[in-house]
Amino acid sequence: MTRRLTAGEQKLWRSLTASVHAASPAEEAGSGKTPVLKAARPAVPPVPGEVPPPAALNQAMGGALAVGDLSMLNRATARRLRQGQEPPDGVLDLHGCSVLKAQDRLEAWILERERQGGRRLLVITGKGKPGQPGKIREMLPLWLEQPRLRPKVLSVVEAAPKDGGSGAFYILLKRRRQED
């Protein structure tokens, strides 16, 4: 079964394909090896203290966390999450927060909810102004890719209209494993 790429996946694919080029026939014939695609621009070493790009984090965490991708869930769970049929285990409203404060609050709140056994979370980011999405709404998926949160997050989907629609997200955390 095939599925359509989400908007985020399409954007990632376009940026990936734009950054590589095929080896020339001369390079291919001279090496005797399978040709390897080369980056169009050299890799830049990360600056200490700078957050690595999401692509590097995705590779380290086992895959991208695309908003709306419910492929890791069974059909019934995906439907209930998408439609907001089950009450969330916690709600965080980030309206009025600066971007930095919102990121700190989100991380601390998700870690606390996970410790308390919560799985279904609702994060209200706000929609932004007409024609431009809000900064917090735009950044939330990237924040969820960070090393402290990505291993805990199973899925993220835009909330149902009754819970905020495009100005909010449902976050489903992975089940906590019982420690032996």
Task: Give the pLDDT confidence of 80-92 residue by residue, as tens digits.
Answer: 888 888 889 999 9
In a domain? residue 2: no
Residue 135 lies in a domain: yes
Name the 3-class secondary structure at 157: strand
Question: Using one digit for the tens of pLDDT, what is the confidence trace for 42-83?
Answer: 445 555 555 545 544 444 444 567 787 777 778 888 888 888
The per-residue pLDDT of the chain, averaged, comes to: 78
Number of domains within the chain: 1
Q: Is 86:173 a contact under the CB 8 Å cutoff?
A: no
Q: E strands along 78-139, which residues?
A: 90-93, 120-124, 128-129, 132-133
Q: Is 80 part of a structural domain of the chain?
A: yes
Structural domain contains residue 155: yes
Q: Between 99-115 and 135-144, two packed helices, what is the crossing angle to 10 degrees?
A: 40
Q: Supply the range of the domain harboring residue 153.
A: 66-173
**Sign of the CA dihedral 136, 139, 143, 144?**
positive
Q: What is the CATH number of the domain that holds 109?
A: 3.30.1370.110
CA distance 58 to 55: 5
In DSSP terms, 39 is beta-bridged to 20
| Token pair belonging to 54 | 């999401």
**Percentage of the chain lying above the pLDDT 70 cut:** 73
Residue 161 in domain:
yes
Segment 167-174 shows an average pLDDT of 91
Evaluate whether residue 114 is within a structural domain.
Answer: yes
Read off the pLDDT of residues 8-21 as tens digits, 9 standing for 90 and up.
Answer: 888 877 877 777 76
Residues 87 and 91: their CA atoms lie apart, in Å, by 10
For residue 141, being part of any structural domain is answered with yes
- 49 inside domain: no
